[in-house]
Amino acid sequence: MHAIQYFSLFAGFRHASIMIMMAATAFCGTILTNGDAYAQSTGPSSSELRVAFSVWEPFVIDDETGRHGIDMAILTELAHRMDKALSLHPCPWRRCLKMLEDGDIDILSSFAYTAEREKFAFYIKPPYSRVSPVFYVRQGKNTHIAQYADLKTLAVGSVVDSRYFEPFDSDRSLNKFEASSEMLLLRMLEANRVDTIVGSDANVDFEIRRNNLDDIIRKAAFRPDHHNDIHIAVSRNSPLMSQTDQISKIITDLREEGFIARVHARYWPASDDAVDAGKPIHSE
């Protein structure tokens, strides 16, 4: 083979190799670009308000009429004023907390403050409600709770992962039994499996009325000098962190307009936040 022919053949192979490499690079670039587009398309939508909730009457009620309650009314109005579609994600409370921490949802309602939770949750101020811890005992049973020290000899029921007051929350000397809901705690108390239960007044009072347990269960004399403000919490891993000022403004407006008071009057008339419902609640 002549040298000039050999050189031409070599140049042809070299040109083909370069063309193949360029095509491969372009193909990989297309894959990466499409991959980024896919990742963006499967992420949270800016037009959605992703809200996790756990049934906690009267704040979240899930019955034959659907989902409603104090939180549902406020969250529906919040989404409306933010021009977002409300995307609801029901979950057990512990799972809701994990979703908020991971940024799988934007908002969790019925949230009481703890320093531990503040690491992953931004608390919207002002709060929209307030609950108080109350101890309940069986009617006709000689369970005497006049002061905190009286709990030391009792079996005490509480809801898992709930925060009530100090020193109760961190007191490891107490004989505590946990359940997933206030209703289960009431059944445990009714069956004499515990001596007393602690719960938020709004929730336990609601369950007692709904299940006609007034003749069986009563409030203990001891009342902790403590209240829990109830907030909306935004995940610190949510894109919604850039809109916390807007959310705070909306909650402030809802309170000043009487919307929050009317919702409480409808679902929790005994609440300090309740007033006579003079106007309809349009968001429901």
Q: Residue 238: helix, strand or coil by DSSP?
A: coil
Q: Residue 77: helix, strand or coil by DSSP?
A: helix
Among left, alpha and beta (phi > 0; psi -120 to 50; other), residue 61 is beta
Whether the model clears a pTM of 0.75, i.e. scores above it, the answer is: no
Q: Which of 201, 154, 166 has its CA nearest to residue 182?
A: 201
What's the one-letter identity of residue 226? H
pLDDT at 272: 83
- Contact criterion met (CB below 8 Å) for 130 and 229: yes
What residue numbers bound the domain in which 90 lies?
A: 48-130+229-267
Check residue 119 and report its DSSP letter. G
User: 184 and 124, same structural domain?
Assistant: no
pLDDT at 24: 46
The answer to the question of residue 20 being in a domain is no
User: 56 and 178, same structural domain?
Assistant: no
User: 96 and 123, same structural domain?
Assistant: yes
What's the one-letter identity of residue 69? G
Q: Which of 206, 70, 88, 87 has its CA nearest to residue 136?
A: 206
CB atoms within 10 A of CB 249: 13
User: 242 and 258, same structural domain?
Assistant: yes
User: 239 and 99, same structural domain?
Assistant: yes
The answer to the question of residue 164 being in a domain is yes
Q: How many domains does the chain have?
A: 2
Residue 148's Cβ-side half-sphere holds a number of Cα atoms within 13 Å equal to: 12
CB atoms within 10 A of CB 30: 10
pLDDT at 275: 64
The answer to the question of residue 33 being in a domain is no
User: 237 and 126, same structural domain?
Assistant: yes
50-72, pLDDT tens digit by residue? 999 999 999 999 999 999 999 99
User: 235 and 122, same structural domain?
Assistant: yes
Rounded to whole angstroms, the Cα distance separating 18 from 41 reads 35
User: 261 and 193, same structural domain?
Assistant: no
Chunk the chain into consecutive blocks of 10 residues (it has 284) and report each block's average pLDDT, rounded to whole numbers: 43 47 46 40 73 94 95 98 97 95 98 94 97 96 96 96 92 96 94 97 91 95 94 98 98 98 93 66 48
HEC profile of 202-227:
HHHHHHHHHCCCCCCEEECCCCCCCC
User: 242 and 112, same structural domain?
Assistant: yes
Token digits for 54? 């756990």
The answer to the question of residue 238 being in a domain is yes
- Residue whose token pair is 């009325």: 209
Domain with residue 184: its CATH number is: 3.40.190.10
Residue 258: φ, ψ to 5°? 90, 0
